[in-house]
Structure formats: C-alpha cells, structure tokens
C-alpha cells in the first residue's frame, strides 16, 4: 500500500547525519484482536485505550552510506544501553522487510537505542510500545529526508500502518486516548491496514480512566501471541467469535460515546474471559491465566457488588490483570489493591497506568 521506489537519496547531495527520538505508549484492548490472516490483517475489529506510563523510548541515528543496492540493513542496536542479539536480528529483519516502503534505509547506517519505562522482566508486553516507537521514528526519518509526510493525519496513518506490520496491536498505540483497528461499520474510515483515532468522540469519563496492571507472573508465556493467533485458524468457535467481536465493538463504541461505564465494563470483562476461553479450546489447548489471576478477577467482582464502585478487569494474552476504573475513585481502589490484591502479585508489583495522550516526539 505504501511502496514507493522514489524515496531514494541523491548520492551527489547526501543528507547530514541526524537523530530522531520518539516515546510511544503501550495500549490495552477492550475488544480484543485475536486471529489474523495475510500480512498481519485482523480477523475482527478491535478497540483499545492508549496508555501513558508504560512506554518505549526509541532513538534512531542515521548517517549516509552509498549502498543503494544492498540487500541488508546496516544496523547497530542497543536495548537499555546493551547489545541484544535477538532484538537486533528481529529489528534488522523487520527493517529489511520495509525496503519497498522506505528504500532509503539501504543507503543509511542506522543506530537504534531503545528502552522501556517498565522493568524488562515485568511480563508487560512491549511489542505495542516498541513497534509503534520504531514506526514513528521511520516516518519522521522519511519526512525529514523527503518532506513527504507533512500532513499530520497522513503521518499518523502511515506510522500506524508500519507499526501494524511489526506487531498488529502496535498500530493502535499511535493515537491519543483510544483507537479502533479493523474495518467496522460502526466507525467511518476504519481499516484493516491501520488504526484510526476515536478518543475525541468518547465521553470524558474515558479520558480519566486508570489501568493498574497487577503483575501476577513475569515468566515468559508458554505460547506466544503469534502462535495463539495461528491456533485460531483451527478453532471451531472462530467464526462465531469474529461475529461476536464485531457486535461487541459496535455496542462498546456507542457506550463509550454516551458515557455508559457499566456496558463498557461488562464488555471489557466478557472480552478478557472470551480471549482466554479461546485459548482453552484451541488445539492444542493451553491456559495463560494463573490461579492468582482468577482470584483477583473474583475479588474484583465481589468488591464491585459490595461497594457499587465501577472497577472492572481485563487481561492481555497473559496472566496479568488490568484493573480499569475512573479517576474519581482512585483512593478507594488503591486501598483495595493494597489490602486485597497485592498479595496475588509477583513481589507485590503493580504498574500504575492510565489513559494517555499518545506518542511524543522528544
């Protein structure tokens, strides 16, 4: 969609060396993307909240080298100041896959320095923040070399498209507050190729939402998201699931516009349990939630029934529980976490997060 053979540097007039830095946040899906086809295209639309305190900082340094026909990228890569062969190889392969979109990458020597705001071993997925930060750096690089992405909406769309190729859910991190990825009749302009911003249309209560991430386990997942998506292909519930997600997205979208927190919370919890149920009925079946995840979810429901406070849970593809609640009950909820939930967390670790303003160029 964005292939552009004209984005080639003129070796008789090479650019000065330079550097670009982006900070990009993670996101939490309320309607989940689970199941894909083709080149990271989603089987159903998803809707996420953009987070704030869980982010990746990525610096991209570049310098001209005249190798227009090279097949490999010239990349030095540092994660938290240290070399990391696995990340380096993954990033190099991703950049090389983007040569048709950014042919000038062959003509540059690149150095990437990246790091996360959350502990590496916390079990918080970093692909959404990491891939969106890298995509934003690449789009800024294109714009600074060619001036081709001056329109902010077009810049964001391309950054979202590139982020999606790196990790599907990363395409939603580009936008403030909330984003929808995947074609749905509910949102005009929505696309399977990139996410679109929807936060402006939502009631204020959703801009002041907190997401405290209760870290139940930081162990590496037994089944990766990539393998989990692939297992949806043989899942007998796949088609009804995709229909359900489409319906839920449309209901959620209306609820978020009107400020209906109850419907929001019900869909958030139902989606979390559906996602994990799909894992449990894949072939082979697997389970990523842990007894402490279940204990937390049950306590959240009991607390809500007893107090009437609108606190809801969701899960990613892992055992950690995200607690969603509006800012006006933060003191009550933090006391509840302290008294009843921290004992279920690994080393009592909670990453406090909230709905944020989206990525920032530094």
Contact residues toward ligand PMV (CB under 6 A) are 29, 32-34, 46, 127, 167-169, 225, 229, 275, 316-317
| Of 107 and 320, CB closest to ligand PMV | 320
281 with 237: CB under 8 angstroms? yes
| Of 140 and 225, CB closest to ligand PMV | 225
CB of 130 to ligand PMV, least distance (A): 11
CA distances from 119 to 129, 234, 341 (A): 14, 35, 20
**DSSP states of 283-336:** SS------HHHHHHHHHHHHHHHHH----EEEE-SSS-EEEEEEGGGHHHHHHH
CB of 79 to ligand PMV, least distance (A): 18
Which backbone phi and psi does 321 adopt, to 5 degrees? -110, 130
| Of 141 and 256, CB closest to ligand PMV | 256
Nearest to 261 by CA among 324, 198, 331, 346: 324
Q: In what helix (H) or strand (E) does residue 137 lie, and over which residues does it extend?
A: helix 127-146
CB of 158 to ligand PMV, least distance (A): 18
Which backbone phi and psi does 217 adopt, to 5 degrees? -155, 140
Instruction: Write down the number of H helices and E strands in the chain.
Output: 8, 14
| Of 35 and 265, CB closest to ligand PMV | 35
| Of 158 and 229, CB closest to ligand PMV | 229
CB of 353 to ligand PMV, least distance (A): 15
Nearest to 89 by CA among 77, 100, 98, 80: 77
Cis check: omega of the bond before 94, within 30 degrees of 0:
no
Q: Which residues contact 118 (CB under 8 A, 6 or more apart)?
A: 53, 54, 124, 126, 351
CB of 146 to ligand PMV, least distance (A): 29
Q: Are strands 36-37 and 108-116 parallel, antiparallel or unpaired?
A: unpaired
CB of 324 to ligand PMV, least distance (A): 14
| Of 114 and 167, CB closest to ligand PMV | 167
CB of 204 to ligand PMV, least distance (A): 24
Q: Which residues contact 301 (CB under 8 A, 6 or more apart)?
A: none
CB of 49 to ligand PMV, least distance (A): 11
| Of 110 and 166, CB closest to ligand PMV | 166
| Of 40 and 107, CB closest to ligand PMV | 40
| Of 48 and 58, CB closest to ligand PMV | 48
232 with 43: CB under 8 angstroms? yes
CB of 200 to ligand PMV, least distance (A): 21
Q: Is the dihedral of CA 141, 177, 264, 340 positive or negative?
A: positive
86 SS3 class = helix
């Amino acid at each position: 969609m964005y292939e552009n053979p004209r984005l080639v540097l003129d070796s008789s007039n090479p650019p000065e060396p330079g550097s670009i830095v982006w900070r990009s946040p993670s996101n939490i899906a309320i309607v989940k993307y689970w199941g894909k086809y083709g080149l990271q295209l989603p089987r159903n639309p998803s809707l996420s909240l953009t987070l704030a305190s869980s982010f990746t900082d990525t610096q991209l340094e570049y310098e001209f080298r005249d190798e227009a026909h090279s097949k490999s990228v010239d990349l030095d890569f540092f994660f938290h100041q240290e070399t990391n062969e696995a990340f380096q190889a993954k990033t190099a392969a991703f950049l090389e896959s983007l040569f048709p979109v950014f042919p000038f990458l062959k003509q540059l020597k690149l150095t990437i320095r990246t790091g996360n705001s959350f502990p590496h071993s916390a079990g918080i997925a970093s692909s959404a923040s990491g891939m969106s930060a890298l995509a934003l750096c690449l789009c800024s690089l294109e714009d600074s070399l060619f001036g081709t992405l001056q329109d902010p909406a077009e810049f964001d769309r391309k950054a979202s498209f590139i982020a999606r190729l790196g990790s599907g859910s990363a395409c939603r991190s580009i936008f403030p507050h909330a984003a929808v990825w995947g074609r749905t009749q509910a949102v005009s302009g929505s696309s399977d190729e990139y996410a679109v911003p929807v936060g402006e249309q939502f009631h204020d209560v959703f801009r002041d939402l907190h997401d405290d991430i209760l870290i139940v386990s930081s162990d590496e997942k037994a089944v990766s998201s990539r393998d989990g998506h692939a297992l949806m292909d043989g899942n007998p519930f796949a088609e009804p699931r995709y229909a359900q997600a489409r319906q839920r997205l449309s209901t959620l979208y209306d609820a978020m516009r009107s400020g209906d927190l109850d419907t929001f919370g019900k869909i958030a919890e139902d989606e979390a349990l559906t996602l994990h149920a799909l894992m449990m009925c894949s072939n082979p079946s697997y389970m990523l939630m842990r007894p402490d995840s279940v204990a937390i979810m049950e306590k959240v429901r009991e607390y809500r029934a007893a107090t009437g406070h609108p606190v809801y849970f969701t899960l990613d593809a892992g055992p950690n529980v995200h607690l969603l609640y509006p800012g006006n009950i933060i003191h009550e909820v933090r006391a509840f976490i302290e008294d009843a939930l921290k004992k279920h967390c690994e080393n009592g670790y909670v990453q406090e997060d909230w709905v944020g303003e989206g990525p920032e160029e530094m």
